[in-house]
Amino acid sequence: MAEETIFSKIIRQEIPTPLLYQDDLVTAFRDIAPRADTHILIIPNKLIPTINDVSEDDELALGRMITVASKLAKEQGIDENGYRLIINCNKHGGQEVYHIHMHLLGGQPLGPMLAI
């Protein structure tokens, strides 16, 4: 059984964080340390530690993360100029919180895809 992270507490609102979106499958809220003018995290409500741990049972939630990203990008007015969706995995991917999350980044030019 994977260990819960702070994100499970945010989903359940045990740590009050303004939510931009929530349904039965996913939750979205602003990143606490934004790396761009718009920086939103979209996460499955189910605790899945990394992308290595997904199964076919998760496809509905994983697909919902994309449709919610598209909806939020429009709401935030960044859809026309564009944005970036990122999911980090494990150490080399720079993952810090072990509950899958998709970063929605935009509101400004984001530069090259990678800065290694």
| Catalytic positions | 101
What is the pattern of x (binds ligand 5GP, CB under 6 A) and - over residues 50-89? --------------------------------------x-
95 interacts with ligand 5GP by CB under 6 A: yes
| Rounded (5°) CA angle 77-83-87 | 130
114: exposed, middle or buried (C-beta count within 10 Å: 0-12, 13-18, 19+)?
exposed
**Of 37, 40, 51, 44, residue with least CA distance to 7:** 44
What is the pattern of x (binds ligand 5GP, CB under 6 A) and - over residues 13-32? ----x-----------xxxx
d(CA 44, CA 24): 9
Give the residue carrying structure tokens 């609102």.
13
SS3 97: coil
Query: Which of 56, 57, 80, 96 is the binder for ligand 5GP (CB under 6 A)?
Result: 96
Query: Which of 1, 24, 33, 91 is the binder for ligand 5GP (CB under 6 A)?
Result: 33
Residue 52 or 80 with smaller CB distance to ligand 5GP? 52
Query: Which of 2, 4, 6, 82 is the binder for ligand 5GP (CB under 6 A)?
Result: 6
Residues that bind ligand 5GP in the complex, under the rule CB under 6 A? 6, 17, 29-33, 41, 88, 94-97
